[in-house]
Amino acid sequence: MEGVTSFNIDMEAKKVTIIGHVTPLGVLASVSKVKKNAQLWPSPTSSSSSSLPSLPMYGSMVNAS
């Protein structure tokens, strides 16, 4: 998918984390093309001491069923 810079697949948790310049709905649309159930979940909050701006981030959880 265009805009993805990295991803991580956790087979035990049946979870895929996608990082990059993508929209949450774009991720869901791509996942639905392969007929997998997916839902968005918010990222854990970052520490307040971080020098990076706080931006909303989303991941994609993909169930293998």
Collapsing DSSP to helix, strand or coil, 21 comes out as coil
Mean of pLDDT values over 6-11: 90
Collapsing DSSP to helix, strand or coil, 18 comes out as strand
What pLDDT, on the 0 to 100 scale, is given for residue 5? Answer: 92
Domains of the chain, by residue range, sit at: 1-12+21-44
Per-residue pLDDT reduced to its tens digit, 32-65: 787 777 777 776 654 444 444 444 555 555 554 4
Mean of pLDDT values over 22-38: 81
pTM above 0.75, yes or no: no
